[in-house]
Amino acid sequence: MKNNIKVQRAIFNLTQQDLADRIGVSRQTINAMEAGKFVPSTVLALKISRLFEKPVNEIFELGEED
């Protein structure tokens, strides 16, 4: 699964730690999502979507391998 979390963080001027604190996960979780090594749960994806004020499908996208 592809995502643009890093871009969204930059727009909102958030560090990985800032984002992690706001959605209740570790900084390592944010790092793993940005690297494409971790696929978030539906609840986590919705929290990120709400924070960035964008629909989930504008942040997350299925890749060809998905």
Mean per-residue pLDDT pooled into runs of 10, the chain (66 residues)? 97 98 98 96 98 98 87
For the entire predicted model, the pTM comes to 0.92
User: Residue 37 to residues 2, 29, 45, 50, 60: CA-CA distances in angstroms?
Assistant: 10, 9, 15, 22, 13
Residue 63 tokens, joined: 């890749």
Can you list the domains of the chain with their CATH numbers? 2-59 (1.10.260.40)
